[in-house]
Every structure is written in structure tokens, then in C-alpha cells.
Amino acid sequence: MTDRSTLRAGVRPADTVPFALPGLDPRHSHVLGAWHYLDTGPELAARGIEPVGTVLAVHGNPTWSYLWRSVVTASLDAAARGLPAWRVVAVDQLEMGLSARTGTHRPLARRVADLGAFTDALGLTGPVVTLGHDWGGVVSLGWAVDRPDRLAGVALLNTAVHQPDGVPIPAALRLALAGPVHTLGTRTTRAFLETTLSLARPPLPRDVADAYRLPYRRADERHGIEGFVADIPAGPEHESRPELDRIAAGVAGLTVPAVLLWGPHDPVFSDRYLDDLVRRLPHAHVHRYADAGHLLAEDVDWAPTVLGWLGDEVAPPVEPPRRSSVSRPRTGSVDGPGTAQARPSGAFSPIWAGLDARADDAGRAVLDMSADERDPSRSVSWRALSRQVRRIAAGLHAIGVRRGDRVSLLVEPGPTLTALVYACLRIGAVVVVADAGLGARGLTRAQRGAWPRFVVAQRKGLAAARALGWPGVRISAEPLPAAARRVLGVAHELVDVARLGEGRALPPEPGADDEAAVLFTSGSTGPAKGVVYTHAQLAALRDALAAHFDVGPDTGLVTGFAPFALLGPALGTRSVTPVMDVSAPRTLTARAVADAVRASDARIVFLSPAAILNVVATADGLEPADRAALGRVRTFLSTGAPISERLLSLAADLMPAATAHTPYGMTECLLVTDITLDGIADAAAAPDDGVCVGLPFGTAGAGGTGGAAGAQVLVSALDDDGAATGEPGDAPGVLGEVVVRAPHLKERYDRLWLTDLASVRDVPAGRWHRTGDVGHLDDAGRLWIEGRLAHVLTTPAGPLAPVGPEQHVERVRGVRRAAVVGVGPAGVQQPVAVVETVAGVRRPGLAPHELSAAVRAASPVPLAAVLVVPRMPTDVRHNSKIDRTRLARWAAGVLAGGRVGAP
């Protein structure tokens, strides 16, 4: 082994290797001519293992092959376990890392040629999968485009292959290129290197950071860093721009398997560049690691993901996976046991078909309650709505909106939003919808994650987009003064877009399997996730609602729950959103609901539990005419979160002729099961723990009329560790994770490939969604929800779901709400009850003796402690959902003798 000075010399002798570095075995380090590289090939040969192919890994600036040490180690570990063996070759680009310093100018085309010369000298034949990061991603893709005969796949970490004209390069790179700063920051000092290393999340251990610094300790070793920065194609006149454009065009023609792993906290390679790569590689698997940044290879454990992808999609598995049988699901569908949940037979009817069918109808389609209900200008007829949809659709197409383009809509519910949604869907644009209740941070995460090409918003949304740097060409949904348009960066006004579309022909309709919408989850169980729906899935949701609740042209809908607020035209019936702040459901009043029902003569009312709470609280303000209007409602639904029987009953009392329903679902599958108020009363006599949410949607016994291909429900039993490992089945009384499928189940999570993989249960002949909820089926096939999988306690007696014990505790006199959480190590957790009392307490801590004794007596499981809080902590989106994870941390701290503060 030679010393560091020898390693830094120009062209090194072939038998030199670097000294040991953290996480890197020096046996994998090799030199070939001017190149230093890591290679697992000799180790595989020594073990008598023949690789199925080679991973060619290329670093960027200012890293080196050390970046790829985790995939080097993981690939050998996988081979030792008998998995398909991949040789990993990670080269140091010339002028970089431990490779030679030749002093040669190396623009992009030269670097691509260098990589080809290296693989030729190494005798590297196919199949090859390229793996690149930073500007090494572009170089690796250049190699890939030029050698399709050897290429088997491409894998990328944060990189870019295209710089749009007129869009400045990221500020960090502009600074690095600026005049005297360029040389000073890249070569004279280690500023560029140190800044890059500081981007790791969390910070790099000192020894790892020192390993990255190793090849670049002296200024004369950093010429490559300086040259790489200078070679950034900042504009169309740059010498490397033609090569970058050539590679970008070639990437769009690649059809090999691809995977894109991304750190969104990257000040250089933002989601703009990810969006471009997705457009060029639409078949690629994409995963955004929410908390990762530029040095994703250091931020997350990514190597097993790439190796799994290699085994599953690039190299065939050694043996096909064994599939086991599955029980008959509880279902309201016409599918037989174990068959795939396909789209219902018959011609596909798009979501806008109901609107087209009434295009000549002068009757009211959408009512706007934001103004005086007696003002006829605030109501839009079917004829006017159809015309406006066509005008906006054609106008959007005229300004450049194309099929597959994402359009974020930040517009209050009403006729304008309705027309926008159907216009986008008609031309195949993908609607992006994120609830304003996510707050500025959540909305920013959603907008940057979805990366829409266009944003249509009112003034408030435009101001947020401007201030928070949201992507997309901005279109104002309302007329603005010229000065305001300039300040807010508005490119178009919707009125002008509609005028532009007047008389223009519409493009061909999108297909059933084209993407239609990205709907963001509430964020109540973690960061909000984008859920992708196709046109077929939206149409199936419409059909399920129409059949189950017998919705017809004269039904009418009052929709105080955002996901269903836009379905009126799809269902061919008039709709209205009552006066309320849709981002704050508790602003809805009983009077506003009555006004909306009276104005629309609606027979169905959709509300969220948070809205119902205030509706009931303000019922005293109803006048006789209001009560008469509510008395004509025949179907009432509480959707979006659990609701107590008492609250549902109080709301139903305001609509005495209506059948009260509370469907169970989630953003990923909005309608899973349904139960009526009478059904809840029947379930109350059952001995089961949990909340009964009824029968699968589409079953007549669920309370509707049935008749639609519906949902299917199975339960995967929990093991002693609280994991859902049991084969999904429909046996009654088995506690486990609820898995579902339906024609209206999501297509996938957006750019969250690993999350999507984790959400899919491997059940034969169908795609099942793991809900994350735990519960059981009873003898009648009804589903009972007993909590979230993440909140299951792993006690010495086995897994314990929290909702059942909580229900018993909440029956204690004086207890308003309760949560049962686990304290202690997994497997031996002890249940602790945390209660909020009716009278309230001023200080959190141990419960008074009398209350503690009553709670312990009521609990079906032994309790290690009973604690009290002034108010239960709830998640940011649903006041009805207790944050048990937060409570568990707080309870553990209290019982450990820590400072007692509010949870």
C-alpha cells in the first residue's frame, strides 16, 4: 500500500490502492492507467460468482467514487445471500478523486468520451446499468445513449439533463461561476467542496467528510472542481450546451427500466429537473425522499432500493416468487373470488359525460352561495357551464396546456372551480388539488412535489405562489389590475383564456387509463402524499356514488366536504357549496346549510365531522323556513373522519326525513364501506370493540341501493410484533390491517414509488391497498376499525389496538375523550390511559385517585398508569383524530420522571 503523496501523483501504477476509509474496503480500489475506480468484480470472481451484469456508477462534482461505497458493499452482501449478483464499477472521473490530474480541458463531450474510453479499456460488455449523481448523471446518460446495445437500465440520483432557455441556473451555481468567486471558491479555497458537504441531512460524520476531502486537500488537486463548475451549460451559447441537448434528446428515446431517486431539499437540482426527467422517462419509477437533499446517497439508505429494482425489473429473479391462496373477500362487487378488480365492463363513460348530456339544459347546474342567493347571476345553467367548460378547455390548450400537463387549482369551490376542473379533464390535463388547510408549509411541499406546469389561482393563492416560490405558469382566476399582475407574476387571466378558446376546436379526449388528477392526502398521518387517479377511476367513483345513493338529475347536492364538491356535474345533478371557509370546516353554520338546501332544493347533503360539530352548535339560529328546507333532505352523509353516534344523531335530527350515512374511506379510496345511523345503533348491541363502519360500498345491505361494482375488504392478521404479516382473509374476529380494493382505488402515489410499494399487499390476481388501519370483520361481514397500525401496542400478551380500550374508558363518568398508548420497549409495552375530562384540568399529569380507579375498573386491559391532560393533542387537519404518537412520547416522559408539560 502506498502513501497519500503517491496516490495524488499523475498517472499511478496499476498495483496501487488507497488506504482504508470509513465504509470502504481497500480491496475494492483499483487503478487502470489514469483512472482510479472501485470494482467488485475481482471479489465476485474470488467467490466463484458470475455477475448478471454491471452497474457503472459515475460521481459528480466535487465528490468521487467514495460516494458509491454503500452500493459496493450492499451488492456483495446481496450476492452472498444468493441473490442475483451485480458487479459494481465506480470510476473517478479524470481530474477528480484519485484519478490522474492531466491538466486537460474537459467539457461535457470530452467527459462522455472519457467514460467510454475507460469502459473500453476495462473491457466492459453488457448488460450495463448506469448510475449517476449530479453532473455524473449527465455523463452516465451520455454513455447510455451512445451504447444502447449494452444498456440494460438507468438509475439516477439528483441530476439534470436539460436547462430551459430563459430560466436562470440555480443561484448557488450562479454564485460559483461569478467572476473572481469562481476560482477563489472552487480551487484557491475549499469553499465549493465544503458547501457541498454541508448539504448532507443530517451532517456527515467527521471521518466521512474527511474521506470526501481526501483527493482535494491542495489547490493543485482542485483544478477538476474548478473546471467542472466552468463547464456548467448556463446558457445556449455555452460550448457544452449542444452535447447536453444531444443527451437530453437521447434520454427521451430510452425504453430500458429506469429509477429516479430524489432529495427535494437540493438547492441546485430542484424538482424542476426531476419533472423534466419524468417527462423524458415516463416509465421510470420515481421516489422523492421527503427529508433528503443533494447528497441523497449520504442522507438515506438507498442502495437496497436500487438492488431490489435491479433484481425485480432488470435481471429476472432466480425463481419465481411463490404465491399463496387468498380467502374470498367481503365484497359488494360482481367479481368472483380472487379475480382482478378491473374496470367494470361496458364502454367507458368519461367524468364529463353527465355535463355533456345536459349541455342544452337551461336548468341550474352550479349555485354560488357566496353572494345573495336571490341573485340569479350567481347560478350557472347547464348550458352556460357546458359552454364555459369548452371555452376554457380550448383556451387552455391554445396557451400551451397539453395532455399530461399538471394544472394546480387554488380556487374556492363554486362555478369557476367547477368549470376549471372539467375543462382540464376534458383536454387531458392533470388536475392537482391540495387542501388549503395543509398550511403554507404543507402546500409548498405539495406544489413542489407535484411540480405543476400551470397554476390557476385567485389573488390569495397567487400571492402565496409568488412568496413561496411555487412552480408553474400563473393564471389569475379573477381580473386583476395591471400592477397586481406584474407583482404576482401573472401570465394570463382566466377571462382572457376563455375568450381565446371561443370557437376553437377541442383536442382529442384523453383515454380511460390516462392520468386525471393528483389529490393530496390530509397530512394527518404524515406529510401529505399525492394520490394519482386515472379517468377510469374517477368515473368509477362517480358510478359508485350514483348507484349507491340513487343520484339522479333532480337529486341535488349540498357539498360541504371538498372531495365531493365537484361531483355534481359528473352525476348530472345540480350542486352547491354552502357559505363557509373550506379550509376551516368549523366555519359552516346550520343556517348556511339550510340556505344552500333551500336555494338548490337538494336532497343529499355531504358534510365533514368538523363542519357538523358547528352546524349542530348553531342549530338554535334556524328559523321555521330553514327547518322546513332541511326536512326535505332524504340522504345525509358525514365523510372524511370518524364521527360519534351522538353527533351524527344530533345532525340527523336537523334533517328528520333523511337517512344518515357515515362512509369509511380515505383519499386513496374515497368510498370503502358505508353504515347508516340505524346500522350504528344495531352494531351498538354487538360485543365487538372498535367503530363499526359497515359493509363494503356497493352492497345493498350497506344502506344504499347497491348496483355498482363496489369495494372489497380483507384483513391481514397482526403478529406478536404488531406487523400485518397474516394472509389477508375474511375470517371474523381476526385483528389485523385492513386491505381494500375497488374500481375507484387510486392508481398510485405520485413520485413516491417506495411508499406505493409498501402500500400494496401481494395478494394474487389483484391490486390491494394497505390502509394502515387495523380492525376486524364480524360474522355479518361488517368492518370494525380499532385504530391505526402505527398506534398498535405490542404488549407481553400480544398486539393491542387502542380504540376498544378507549371506548370503555370513555364510558366513565366525567371523561370526555381518552387515548390508550404504549410505554416501554416494543414487545413489552405497558398500556397507559390518557384522558381529557369534561370538567377540565389546569395541569397535565397523573390523574386523581378517584378518576384513576374508575378508569382502571372500566378498562378491559390492565393499565400501567392513568394520566390527565387539559386538552387532547390532535393532528393539524382533523380535530377528531387524536395524535396518539405525540401522546405516547409525552406519557413516557412523564412516567420517567421528566418535566410535566402539555403534550
For the residues of 176-235, what is the DSSP string, one character each?
HHSHHHHHIIIIISSHHHHHHHTT-SSPPPHHHHHHHHGGGSSGGG-HHHHHHHHT---S
The cell for 344 is 367494470
- For the segment 209-236, the average pLDDT, to the nearest whole number, is 93
Q: What is the pLDDT of residues 352-383, one digit of tens each?
A: 999 999 999 999 999 888 654 444 447 899 99
Question: How far is the C-alpha of 755 from the C-alpha of 668, rounded, in Å?
Answer: 13
**Are the CB atoms for 716 and 736 separated by under 8 Å?**
yes
**Strand, helix or coil at 91?**
strand
Question: How far is the C-alpha of 217 from the C-alpha of 85, rounded, in Å?
Answer: 36
Q: Is the peptide bond before 510 cis (omega within 30 degrees of 0)?
A: no
The overall average pLDDT reported for the chain is: 89
Q: Which of 277-291, 524-538, 585-599, 835-849 has the highest mean pLDDT?
A: 277-291
Secondary structure element (H or E) that encloses residue 430, with its range: strand 430-433
Banded model confidence at residue 704, pLDDT cuts 50, 70, 90? low
Banded model confidence at residue 277, pLDDT cuts 50, 70, 90? very high
Percent of the chain at pLDDT exceeding 90: 75
**Are the CB atoms for 702 and 548 separated by under 8 Å?**
yes
- Is the full-model pTM beyond 0.85? yes
Q: What is the pLDDT of residues 854-865, one digit of tens each?
A: 999 999 999 999
Long-range contacts of 581-587 (CB under 8 A, 24+ apart): 582/412, 582/413, 582/435, 582/436, 583/435, 583/436, 583/437, 584/437, 585/560, 585/561, 585/610, 585/611, 585/614, 586/610, 586/611, 586/613, 586/614, 586/879, 587/614
**Strand intervals (E) in 658-814:** 659-661, 664-666, 669-674, 691-696, 712-717, 736-741, 748-749, 760-761, 768-777, 783-788, 793-795, 798-800
Q: Which stretch of 62-66, 192-196, 415-419, 645-649 has the lowest confidence by average pLDDT?
A: 645-649
Question: In the prediction, which pLDDT does 625 show?
Answer: 95
Question: In the prediction, which pLDDT does 2 show?
Answer: 32
**Strand, helix or coil at 679?**
helix
Domains of the chain in sequence order: 4-165+238-314 (3.40.50.1820), 367-556 (3.40.50.980), 666-790 (2.30.38.10), 792-895 (3.30.300.30)
Question: How far is the C-alpha of 159 from the C-alpha of 189, rounded, in Å?
Answer: 25
Question: In the prediction, which pLDDT does 705 show?
Answer: 61
pLDDT at 723 over 50: yes
Of 206, 209, 270, 235, nearest to 62 by C-alpha is 209
pLDDT at 329 over 60: no
Question: How far is the C-alpha of 213 from the C-alpha of 63, rounded, in Å?
Answer: 8
**Are the CB atoms for 287 and 309 separated by under 8 Å?**
no
